[in-house]
Structure 1
Amino acid sequence: MNPVSPLIHLVDDDDGVRAGLALLIGTVGLRVAHWGDPQAFLDGFDRESVSVIVLDVRMPGLSGMTVLQLLREQGADQPVVMLTGHGTVDMCRRAFKAGAAEFLEKPVDDDALLEAVLNGVRAHVQGRAREAAGRDARDRYAQLSAREREVLALVVAGLTSKEIARALGLSSRTVETHRANLGEKLQVQTLAQLIRHYAALVEAHAAGSTPGTA
């Protein structure tokens, strides 16, 4: 088994439930970590890992809803699949509002659980990839001069080198030099790649400043 494959955390105070779910999840080649104590899980959980959390709602001590809320308050981005033997519409609504990826009732259907876990793994892997692309875009953007950032925004807006030269009061040759520098610093070779890079940067700044203002 790949030692760096995604890890599925089973947080449930029922040993039998954890054992059964672990066997089921193991059939699709995923690693499983067992947690009978929700507080021990919170203390030992690696928030940097690519993982999915399968979390029982009703447990002694901390409830599953409390654990979910604490995870989100602490910035954990792992998808959480909530399990309950006594589900209500209100409980389901509160779970999704708190950030749960899925809400399933016990006894859990095997196919439904596997689908929820695998969807969670895919979502987390894709989310981490987007974050990495965003960090890379910001790092490269930080290397650009103020003028190069202006040229970049106008290139992405669809202006030609001559139009950019007129807009910025530069010579066409100077604009071409800036465009060449953009390609080198951003490590792109085509206009399409440049636009994709800029799009990743815009997404990375969606919750903060926008390109050209930072």
Structure 2
Amino acid sequence: MTRAPEPTVYLVDDDAAVRDALAFLLSTVGLQVKAFGDGLALQDELEPGDVGCLLLDIRMPHLSGLQVQAQLRARGVDLPIIIMTGHGNVDLCRRAFQQGAVDFLEKPIDETALLEAVQRATRQHLRQRERAEASGEARSRLARLTDREREVLTGLMDGQTSKQSARILGIGARTVETHRASLFEKLEVHSLAELMRAYLNVVEPPAPDHP
């Protein structure tokens, strides 16, 4: 696997004092922080491959936090978003979660709650990226299989023995064993458990984590 980018907390708040205080707090626990005064500056910086989380104030000039959130999703940026506001209400909270926010914090921010939310969101994003990369590699390896090897693989996933697969496919049991050995080599697995995990990562990807 390629090495993932270093996790970063992207912090957006138009209040410089709040922005500086939160950036300092996050840095004290070893988190890399990039701070911005508005959503426009953030969007110039972010790329779909970035890893970490986004701390986003709702009420800002130019673009509101909810507008920034919607635009980032449209661009394919999948950073977990933690919404911050000094004017929290049920409607804002509902809209933020509908657009994919993972948490909603009211100002003044509780330091412990903030750190826990950021660390949880960052871990979640790293796991999602690792699974996505593993799934992509497994899909690429599955593409190497011949049609017959795919049929043999399907039999393996259904729990068929070599003799059962041979009878169903109309080939010899030794031929089935040869195909099995070939698909193990192409998929770069060494056990049935590894094979099943690789197969299921493609056919039935695990559901996203929830904070």
Q: Work out whether the TM-score is over 0.5.
A: yes
Q: Distance in 2 between matches of 1:5 and 1:17?
A: 24
What is the TM-score with the length of structure 1 in the denominator?
0.92
Which residue in 2 is equivalent to 1:122?
A: 123
Q: What is the CA-CA distance between 1:5 and the residue it aligns to?
A: 3.2
Gaps of 5+ in 2: none
Superposed CA RMSD: 1.4
% same residue = 52
Which residue in 2 is equivalent to 1:9?
A: 10
Code of the residue aligned with 2:24 in structure 1: it is: L
What is the TM-score with the length of structure 2 in the denominator?
0.93
Matched pairs, number: 203
Give secondary structure in 1 for the equivalent of 2:101. Answer: coil
Q: What is the CA-CA distance between 1:37 and the residue it aligns to?
A: 2.2
CA contact (8 A) 2:48 2:75 kept: no
Which residue in 2 is equivalent to 1:66?
A: 67
Which residue in 2 is equivalent to 1:105?
A: 106
CA contact (8 A) 2:47 2:77 kept: no
Which residue in 1 is equivalent to 2:182?
A: 181
Give secondary structure in 2 for the equivalent of 1:101. Answer: strand
Q: Deviations over 1:122-173 (max 9, x none)?
A: 0010000011011001110000001101110110110000000001001001
Gaps of 5+ in 1: 207-214
Q: Distance in 2 between matches of 1:83 and 1:19?
A: 15
- Any residues of structure 2 matched to 1:135-214 within 5 Å, and which? 135-204=136-205
Q: Deviations over 1:46-66 (max 9, x none)?
A: 321212110000001100000
Give secondary structure in 1 for the equivalent of 2:204. Answer: helix
- Any residues of structure 2 matched to 1:50-65 within 5 Å, and which? 50-65=51-66
Q: Distance in 2 between matches of 1:147 and 1:10?
A: 52
Task: Give the direction of change, closer, same or farther, for the CA distance of 1:167–1:205 in structure 2 (3 Å limit).
Answer: farther
Q: What is the CA-CA distance between 1:97 and the residue it aligns to?
A: 0.4
Task: Give the direction of change, closer, same or farther, for the CA distance of 1:134–1:91 in structure 2 (3 Å limit).
Answer: same
Q: Distance in 1 between matches of 2:24 and 2:136?
A: 37
CA contact (8 A) 1:135 1:204 kept: no
Which residue in 1 is equivalent to 2:86?
A: 85
CA contact (8 A) 2:184 2:190 kept: yes
- Larger RCO (CA within 8 A; separation ≥ 6): 2
Give secondary structure in 2 for the equivalent of 1:9. Answer: strand
Q: Distance in 2 between matches of 1:9 and 1:76?
A: 12
